[in-house]
Each structure stands twice: as C-alpha cells, then as structure tokens.
Amino acid sequence: MTYTSFLVNIEDNIASVAINRPEKANSLHMEAWEEMKHIFESLHENPEVRVIVLTGEGKNFCAGIDLMTLMNLQRYNDISCEGRKREMLRKFIFKLQDCITAIEKCRKPVLAAIHGACVGGAVDIVSACDMRYCVEKSYFSIKEIDLGLVADIGTLQRLPKILQPGIVAEMAYTGRNVSGEEATKIGLTNQTYATVEEMTEGVMGIAKSIASKSPLCIRGTKEILLYSRDHSVDESLNYMTAWNASMLLSDDLQEAFAAMMEKREGDFAG
C-alpha cells in the first residue's frame, strides 16, 4: 500500500501506519487527511488485518492540521453570498471530521503510539483510536484555543467520553501542554514508556496479543464498546443480544474452545 503522506506495512496480521511528513512535524494538509481516510477504510475491509498501530515518523507524532490548509480557508471570502460561504465552510469541516471518524468506524482496534508533539488535530486523531500509549517526552495540547478556534473535528466530542469533564475543559480552555507522564495519570493514555524503543516493543506486544484472538470477536467487541459509549445500558444490552444471536455460533467459537482444551494458540480465519 503506497501513499504520499503515510507509510503502511502489513505483517503478521498487524498493520503499521506511520504519518510520514517529518519535515512538517507530521502536520496534515488536505491530501494527507484524505489519504488517512482511505487507509483506514481500506484496512477495515482487509481480511489480513486484525489490529492497527498508528505512529509518526521523525521527532513528532503529529502537529495537527497544516497551517497552510487553514490559511487557504481565506478563499471562501471570494464567495459573495454569505449563505453559500458558510455552507462551503461547513462542508470543509464535515470533510475533516469524516477523515477522523474513519478511524473509529474501522472495526480493527487502533493503537496510537505517540512520541514528541501530539497537538491540535492530532488530539482529534488519537481520541478516535481505541488505545493510546506515549513516551515521557511526548506532550498533548488542544492548541486550537491559541489559534482563535474552537476545536471542531472530534476532540470536544470524544475526549469527554475518555477523561473527566473538568480535565477536558482545562485542556481546551488553556491549550496547555500535558506531558506524557501526566497523560497516563489522567487516563488519556494507557501507559507511558521511557523511550520510543520501549514503547514500540510494548505496543507491538499488545498488538500481537490482539491479533492472536478471534477476529470476529475483536470486531464485535469494538462494535459493542462504541455502541455502549453512546447509548443507555438498556439499549446496549438489547443490542448485545442481537449481536450475539447473529455471531455467537461461529467457527471461531469452536476453534477457541479447541485451542483452550489442547493448550495451544487459536488458528482463526481472516
């Protein structure tokens, strides 16, 4: 899978996706946002892939949206009709939101391994991932407030489902940097590692563990977790019965029991 702004490699059922614009601190221009959407939609459909690890090349994970992309919004001022101007701007925001939502809609678990800067739009991206891991020297910032913007492509919608509301509010109002160590303390990341090498080894170990499980059950677990996040307990329990009534009696169930009885790893189809 060849892309301009990303490196994608698939090995042992694990897709490694790396943002590859290190000369721009891995900030994303419009073409990169569109590539990211295509990548996660493709990995969603790829039967070889059971789990995804998202990283960044160079010194930083991601510096968010490329500032030139924001500056290019000035072109909407050439539209004389205010209604049409606002309609085009709303369409642009929807487009960016969809690029990030593609990560969440991908039914393969996505693990973000974060080093260096994770600011602005990058926080939107990692908020849509299933798990986040970082190094001590990494830092997180909802930077939009310092640019005269309200974060508009997912952070303010997803982070309150991950962190305590007061912590999200403080980050959003101040734009301050949250260190890697603090990120794990407040629950933004699962674990903080001393070095990138240790993080890579640790995250790949977790990814390998996930890849060894029933792919059908992993996809179902992500489906149910996200549904439960957005619905009541009663609604979620009802949805759960429909899911298991449809998926429970599978080849994966038989293989999982056989593997347990024979004290071996399961051998599951894609």
Give catalytic residue positions: 65, 121, 124, 144, 152
Q: Structure tokens of 42?
A: 């493709």
Nearest-angstrom CA–CA distance, 266 and 77: 59
Q: Which of 42, 9, 19, 51 is nearest to 125 (CA)?
A: 19
Q: Structure tokens of 58?
A: 């160079």
Q: Where are the beta strands (DSSP E) in 80-170?
A: 110-114, 117-119, 131-135, 139-141
φ and ψ of 251, to 5 deg? -65, -35
Q: How distant is the alpha carbon of residue 123 from its chain centre?
A: 9
Q: How many of the other CB atoms lie within 10 Å of CB of 222?
A: 18
Nearest-angstrom CA–CA distance, 20 and 212: 28
Q: Angle 157-63-169 (CA atoms, 0-180°, nearest 5)?
A: 35
